[in-house]
Amino acid sequence: MSVETAPVKHTLKDYKVDLHNDWCPGCGDFGILTSIQMAFAQLNLDPDKVAVFSGIGCSGKTSHYVNAYGFHTLHGRVLPSATGGRLANSAVTVVALGGDGDGYGIGAGYFVNAGRRNVDLTYLVHTNNVYGLTKGQAAPTLAKGLRTKSMPEANIQDGINPIAMAVAAGYTFIARGYALEPKYTAGIIAKAILHKGTALVDILQTCPTYNDLYTKEWYDGADLPQKRSRLYKLEDKGYDGVVKDPSDREEIIAKKAAAVMRSYEQDPIPTGIYYQVCLPTYEDGVNARIPALAAKPLADLDVFHRNVTPLLEAMR
Amino acid sequence: MIGGPQGSGINASAEVFAKACSRAGLRVYANIEYHSNIMGKHAFYRVRVGDEDVRSFKDNTDILVALDDETLTGDAHHRRWATHYGHLHEVSEGGGVIYDTETGYDHTAAVRKDLTFYPVPFMEVIKAALTEIGKGSQFRAYEVMKNVVALGASLALCDFPFDLVASVVQDQFKGKREEIGALNVRAARLAFDHVREHLDAKNFPYRLGPGPEPKARILAKGYEIIAIAKLRAGCAFQTYYPISPATDENVFLEKNQRAYDLMVVQCEDEISAINMAVGAAHMGVRAATATSGPGFALMVEGIGFASMTEAPGPIITMYQRGGPSTGLPTRQEQGDLQFVVHPAQGDFPHIVIAPGDLRECYQDTFSSFNWADRFQLPVVVLVDKKLAAIYTTIDKLELKYDAIDRGKRWDGVTPTGADEKGPNDGFAANGQGTPHDEYLRYALTDDGISPVSHPGQAGGRFWSTTDEHDPDGHITEGVAMRMAMMEKRMGKLARITAHIPADQQYALHGPAEAELTVVSWGSPKGTILDAQKILATEGKSINFLQCRLMKPFPAAAVEAILRKAKRLVLIEENYSGQLGALIAEHTGVRITERILKYDGRPVSEDEMVRALANVYAGGRAEPVVTLVR
C-alpha cells in the first residue's frame, strides 16, 4: 500500500513502547517485534497513521509493544477485524498479526477468505508450531509424528503448509521470514507493507520454553556435520517469485507452482519472497462502485442525514 | 389472499394489489407465509385493507385466489405433518374463490355451499393476450403472468378501479421493458373481462372502493424501513452473511450502495461479519450488520469484543425466526430475547431494543447509532420475520428524523490523563514527550465515558485489548483497576436508562387502569392493539404494557405498572415466555397467566381476540395454535 510517512525522520525507538514485556526470555517474539519496528522505521511510518491488529496468544501481545494504534482482538478473528479497519479508513496502514494456531487453526477460514478478497493489508504469522500461552500443545503447523517436550503424546494430526495454502487462497504476496534474523525479516515486512494487496509473511519462530524441536540451534544446524543453517534465502539461489506480467495467466500459474514446490522443501527451508503479483485489490472493486472513496477514506465521508426521499418516493 | 407454489409470482400479485390500494387512500397490512424452499412449496400472501389503521391480519379472507390445488385443499393428504388444511375454510361467509381451471379442482364437491367459485382458465387468458401481439404459441413460457391474471380476476370481483392497478403494473416495468408491462396489463384486463362476462360477479357481496381521501402514504416492508433508517443515520459500513430473514435488508442495502456511498461487505460467516464491523467501528465509521438467530449465535464473542474494547458500535439488526438451531428458517418466533440479552461470557454492557412496528423500527434503528457513539458499545435491534416481511402503509410524517449524536470525541488537545492524584495518574507515563502522554483512550472520567479517538487522528494513539486493561489500554490483572474498569463499563447501563426517553423504553397503551393488563413486546404489538380496540367496543377494559428496551431493562418503571395492575396476562410468540422471565429477573413479578404461541406462525387478530376474551372471562390462558381443519 502507499503509506503515510511521518513528517520528521523516525527511528527505531519511536516505535517502541515503555511497557513491561512478559514474554519468556529468549522468545522468538522479541525478534519479530524488532523486525516490525525496524520495518516501520525503514518506511518512516507515521505512528498515528498505523493500526496494528493482533490475535490472542503470546504473539497477540505484540500490538501493545508497538507505538501505533493497537488492537489486541480475539483469538482467530484478527483478519476480519483488521479488514474492517482497513476498509473503513484506507489512509491508515494496517498490519495484522497472530500465531500459527490463531491464523491457521481457529482462524483458518478467515485466512482463506482474506486471500480471495485481497484487501490491502499485511498479515504476519508467528509460526512456532506450539500453542505457547496454554503451555505447548501442538499447533496446526506441527508435522505428524512429532512431539515437543510439552506434549504428552506425539502428534497424530498432520501439519498444514501455510505457503501452499496462501497460494491456493489467492494471496498476492507470500513470504517467509525468521524471527532470529530481524534485519532480513524487517526487509520482507517493509516490502509486504508496500505491496498493494494482502501480504502474508509467515515468520518461523522459536519457542524456547515449549518447542525443543525447532530451536535456534536446530535452525542454525548446530547438530549437522557441516554445521550449516537449515534455512536459505530464495534470492540467493536465483529464485524470483515476482510475476512480471499480471495479465499473463501462464506466468501466474508457473510462479504459483514454483512457490508451492519451494514450500515443500524441508532442508534447507526457503525464506524470502515466494510469490508476488500485482492484481486489483478489494478496494479497487469497492471504489469502482463508490467513486467518492477514490478521493477520501470511508471514515471521512459525510454520510449523515442522507437524502432518502427517492427511496421513500419509490414506495408510494 | 392469494396462494400458490413458491416461484409462481404470488408476491407480485399481492404487492401490486396492496400498492394500488395504498395509492387509492386505503390503509394496507399485508404479510406472507412461505416455506424454506426456492420453488414449489406452498406460500400464501394476505392483503388486508381498511379506511382506518390496520395493524394485524385476520383469519378470514373475502377473496381467495388459488393458483394450485394445495391452496384449496391443503397438504394433509400428501404430507405426514400438515402445514395447513387448505384456505377454503378461511374464506368469509359468502366469499369468492378464484381458481385456475388447470388445477382440475371440482368445486361442486366443496363442503361449503355459501361460497361462490370462479374458475378461470389462467393459461388461456395468457395465450389470448400473447396472441394479440403474435406470440400466442409461446404462451407456456409466460406462465409467470398468472400473477396478473389472478389480479385482474380479483379486481373484477370486488369492483376496484382497474386503472389504478394498471398504473402500478406499468410502474414496475417503467424504463426497462415497457412492452412487457403493457402485456401484463393486457392479460390482467382480459382476466377482468373474462370474470365480468362469463361469471357472475355482480352479486359478489364484498366491494372495495377507494379510500376517503387519497393520501401520499408509503407502503413499506420492515426491512426496508430499517435499511432506510441505517442510511439516514449515517451507516457507512454494513457486513453480512446470507441468512433468512435478514438477507432482504442486506440485499436492499447492496442495491443502494452506489447511490448512498455505503460499503456493503459479504463475509465468509457471521463471525467475520461482526468482527469486520467492530474493526470499522473502531475506525470511527458507523458500522452495522444484520442477521438471524443462527448467525447471532456465531457473533456473540464479537459482541463481547466490541463491548470490552468500548467500540462505538456496531449495530446488529437481529431478525428472529423459528428456533432452536436451524428451526423454522422462514417462520415467525420471538424465541431469541433471552439469548440476545445474555449473549456472551462475563458481565458487559450492551443495548437491546425491540421495536413493535415499522415506525419504531425506524426510530430505534436510527437512535441505536447515536447510543453506540454516546456509550461506546454495541446495540442490538431485535426484530423478527414478521416485522421484516409485513408490507404496510405508513404516513410519511411518521418518519421523524433525529439529530446525529456522535458522542464524546477527543478534541485532539485536552489532556485526559493529566490528573495528578486521580485514577488515571501514572498510566500515561510512556515518557516520550509525545502528545500521547496526554490522551488515554480508557480514561476514568466523572461521567463514566472516555473521549474516543480513532486511528489516523494525530496524537490520539491508543491501545485496546479484550483482556482487562488500564486507562492506557494495556493489559492489567490488578485488583483495583479491574474493579474500576468493570464499574466504568457496567456503570453505563444506568446512564443509558437515564438517557433514553421513557416512551422509547416502554409504553402503556389504553386506559391507565384496566381490568386486565396485557404484557408483551415486539411484533404482536399491532395485533394486540387491534384486538384491544375490538374488545373495548364490547366493554372490556384492557390495557397493554409494551416492553421495548430490553437491556438495560427499565425495571422500576415496569414494576410500578405491574404492581398497579389488577390482573396480568403475558403474550409472547415463544414457548417459554422469555419476556416474562426477564420481567421476573428484574422486578420479582412473575406473570403466571401466559398466552404463548410457538407454532411458527404469527398470532392473528381473531386468535388474539379469542384468547384475550377467554382470559378476560376468567378462563385459563392457553397456547394458541394456527391449524384448523
Chain A hits for B253, CB-CB cut-off 8 Å, are none
Q: From chain B, pick out residues whose CB is under 8 angstroms from the CB of A170.
A: none
Nearest-CA neighbor of A40 among A71, A65, A74?
Answer: A65
Question: According to the model, what pLDDT value does residue B45 have?
Answer: 97
pLDDT for the residue numbered A261: 98
Rounded to the nearest 10 degrees, the angle between the axes of helix A108-117 and helix A78-88 is: 30
Chain B residues within 8 A of A109 when measuring between CB atoms: 268-269, 272
pLDDT of residue B209: 85
Determine whether the interchain pair A74/B272 forms a contact, defined as Cβ–Cβ distance below 8 Å: no
In B376-433, which ranges are continuous DSSP H helix? 385-389
The SS3 assignment for B99 reads strand
B228/A64 CB distance under 8 A: no
Give A49-95 pLDDT, tens digit per residue: 999 999 999 999 999 999 999 999 999 999 999 999 999 999 999 99
**B29 sits in which H/E element:** strand B27-33
Task: Give the distance from residue B379's alpha carbon to the nearest chain A alpha carbon, in angstroms.
Answer: 18
Give the mean pLDDT of A181-193. 98
Residue of B nearest to A310 (CA): B259
Residues 348-407 of B with CB under 8 A from A: 396, 399, 401, 404
Chain A hits for B302, CB-CB cut-off 8 Å, are 74, 77
Whether B280 and chain A come into contact, CB under 8 Å, resolves to yes
**Residue from A86, A52, A70, A14 nearest B462 by CA:** A70
B260 touches chain A (CB under 8 A): yes
- Is B279 close to A308, i.e. CB distance below 8 A? no
Q: Could you tell me which chain B residue has the CA closest to the CA of A303?
A: B234
Looking only at the bridges linking them, the beta strands covering A199-204 and A122-127 are parallel
Q: Which residue of chain A is at minimal alpha-carbon distance from B307?
A: A73
Give A-chain residues touching B301 at CB under 8 angstroms.
74, 77
Q: Please list the alpha-helical segments (H only) found in B491-554.
A: 492-499, 502-505, 525-537
CATH number of A12-313: 3.40.50.970
User: What is B219-500's CATH number, 1.10.760.10, 2.40.50.140, 3.40.50.970, 3.30.1050.10?
Assistant: 3.40.50.970
Interface check B515 vs A, CB under 8 A: no
| Pairing, β A69-72 against β B463-465 | parallel
B279 closest CB neighbour out of A61, A88, A293: A88
HSE on the CB side for A140, CA within 13 Å? 17
**What three-state secondary structure class fits B555?**
helix
Sheet holding A173-178, edge to edge: A231-233, A269-276, A173-178, A199-204, A122-127, A93-99, A50-54, A69-72, B463-465
SS3 B395: coil
Which pLDDT band, with edges at 50, 70 and 90, does A6 fall under? confident
Closest CA to A17 of A72, A99, A75: A72
Confidence of residue A7 (pLDDT cuts 50, 70, 90): confident
The pLDDT, as a whole number, for residue B425 is 58
Task: Show the cell assigned to A19.
Answer: 511497557
Q: Cβ of B232 and A305 within 8 Å?
A: yes
**Of B561, A262, A139, B584, which Cα lies nearest the Cα of A254?**
A262
User: How many angstroms separate the CA of residue B72 from the nearest CA in chain A?
Assistant: 32
- CB contact (8 A) between residue B460 and residue A48: yes
Start and end residues for every CATH 3.40.50.970 domain found in chain B: 219-500
DSSP state of B142: G
- Residues in B touching A81 (Cβ below 8 Å): 275-276, 278-279, 282, 305
The whole-number pLDDT of residue B422 equals: 58
Check A84 against B239: CB less than 8 A apart.
yes
Q: Which residues of B touch A14 (CB under 8 A)?
A: 432
pLDDT (0 to 100) of residue B211: 79
pLDDT of A36 reads: 98
Nearest CA in chain A to B403: A305
8 Å CB contact between A99 and A142: no
> What values do phi and psi take at B485, rounded to 5?
-75, -40
Which chain A residues are Cβ-neighbours of B391 within 8 angstroms?
Answer: none
Strands of B241-334 (E only): list them: 263-266, 286-292, 315-320
- Structurally, at CATH architecture level, domain B502-616 sits in 3-Layer(aba) Sandwich (3.40)
**B477 part of contact set with chain A, CB < 8 Å:** no
A84: nearest Cα among B247, B460, B240 = B240
Q: How far is B266 from chain A (nearest CA, A)?
A: 10
Q: What is the 3-state secondary structure (H, E, C) of chain A?
A: CCCCECCCCCCHHHHECCCCCCCCCCCHHHHHHHHHHHHHHHHCECHHHEEEEECCCCHHHHHHHECCEEEECCCCCHHHHHHHHHHHCCCCEEEEEEEHHHHHHHCHHHHHHHHHHCCCCEEEEEECCEECCCCCEECCCCCCCCCCCCCCCCCCCCCCCHHHHHHHHCCCEEEEEECCCHHHHHHHHHHHHHCCCCEEEEEECCCCCCCCCCCHHHHHCCCCCCCCCCEEEHHHHCCCCECCCCCCHHHHHHHHHHHHHHHCCCCCEEEEEEEECCCCCHHHHHHHHCCHHHHCCHHHCCCCCCCCHHHHHCCC
Determine how β-strand A173-178 pairs with β-strand A199-204.
parallel
Indicate the length of chain B as a whole number.
Answer: 629
Q: Does B305 touch chain A (CB under 8 A)?
A: yes
Q: In chain B, where does the domain assigned CATH 3.40.50.920 lie?
A: 502-616
Pick from B220, B237, B431: CB nearest A88 = B237
In a mutagenesis test of the A interface, which of B235, B263, B264, B401 is the best target, namely the one with the most A β-carbons within 10 Å?
A: B263
Q: A82 contacts in B (CB within 8 Å)?
A: 279
Q: State which residue of chain B sits closest to A296, comparing Cα positions.
A: B261
- List the single residue in A72, A289, A299 with the smallest CB-CB distance to B465: A72
Fold that domain B2-198 belongs to in CATH = Pyruvate-ferredoxin Oxidoreductase; domain 3 (3.40.920)
Q: Do B464 and A286 touch (CB under 8 A)?
A: no
Which residues of chain A are within 8 Å of residue B455 when distances are taken between CB atoms? 48-51, 69, 85, 89, 92
The structure's pTM equals 0.96
Judge whether B298 is closer than 8 Å to chain A, CB to CB: no
Does B399 contact A67 at a Cβ distance shorter than 8 Å? Answer: no
3-state secondary structure of B282: helix
Q: pLDDT value at position B175?
A: 81
Between CA B404 and CA B367 the distance in angstroms is 9
Residue pair B272/B299 in contact by the 8 Å Cβ criterion: no
List, run by run, the mean pLDDT of 10-residue segments along chain B (629 residues): 93 94 94 92 96 93 96 90 92 96 92 94 96 94 94 92 92 85 95 93 88 81 97 97 97 97 98 98 98 98 98 98 97 98 98 97 96 98 97 76 90 73 53 56 93 95 96 94 96 98 97 97 98 97 98 98 97 97 98 95 96 93 72
Question: Strand (E) positions, B337-462?
Answer: 351-353, 379-384, 391-394
Q: How far is the alpha carbon of A217 from chain B, nearest alpha carbon, in Å?
A: 33
| Mutate which: A15, A58, A74, A102, vs B, most B CBs within 10 A | A74
d(CA B620, CA B611): 9
CA distance A308 to chain B (A): 7
Residue B420's region, left for phi above 0, alpha for psi from -120 to 50, else beta, is alpha
